[in-house]
Amino acid sequence: MKQHILVAALALTCIAGSSMAAPVNLALGKTATSNSVYGSEVASHAIDGDDTTRWAADRHGSATEPVWITVDLGAVSAITSIDLFWMYPSNVPSWYNFSNEYQLLSSADEGSWNVLASGVFHDTPDLGDRTAVHDFAAPVETRYLRFAVVGGSHWGTLHEMRVYGAEQGSGNAVPEPASLALLGLGLIGLATRRRQTSV
């Protein structure tokens, strides 16, 4: 019996660890649309998991006339983080420090939008100027996400947007790691106690 409890405890500990594995990109393979596109550089390129492709607009964005892409996650999801890769450095000195000012917005119905985060990208060799990670203190429940270019000197563009979180009602939910770990520790303690009382 003690061995069975120990095995169960260890299994739960492993499950707790596996539930903290690499998160899933909820945007991958979903639908993306835009209000502006340059040539064949369509919105879907920004969520295809390939950093070498991109969405590009055919003009600059402004606060009154932003250029944007909208991602439909297919269902209301609890978003915990959004990673953005803007672009590779142009390696054209005269373009250095060209920029995109952007906002990340969420909507449940594509009607009303809430600003989740904002930032500025700059065309420099420094990767930190061309990437951003937005972590949310509490999960954001939404179906639609929008990357909107609202200013800057560069035409609107984005190579990749990765959206991490959990899809509600997917049936794939797992117990929280902390709960599993505590249960595992409890079973280990029970096994130890039984062993001590049987000596």
45-84: pLDDT as tens digits = 999 999 999 999 999 999 999 999 999 999 999 999 999 9
pLDDT of residue 22: 65
Nearest partner of 61 among 145, 127, 121, 135, judged by Cα: 121
Q: How are beta strands 131-151 and 99-107 bridged, if at all?
A: antiparallel
Q: How far apart are CA 55 and CA 87, in angstroms?
A: 10
Same domain, 131 and 191: no
What are 135-174's pLDDT values in tens digits? 999 999 999 999 999 999 999 999 999 999 987 665 444 4
Residue 27 belongs to domain spanning: 23-172
pLDDT of residue 74: 96
Same domain, 4 and 58: no
With a cut of 90, say whether residue 128 has pLDDT above it: yes
Same domain, 58 and 1: no
Same domain, 42 and 89: yes
- The total number of structural domains that make up the chain: 2
With a cut of 70, say whether residue 178 has pLDDT above it: no
CB contact at 8 A, 141 and 80: no
pTM equals: 0.76
Same domain, 53 and 73: yes
Across the range 5-30, mean pLDDT stands at 61
Same domain, 80 and 101: yes
CATH code, domain carrying 100: 2.60.120.260
pLDDT of residue 86: 97
Across the range 171-179, mean pLDDT stands at 48
Same domain, 1 and 69: no
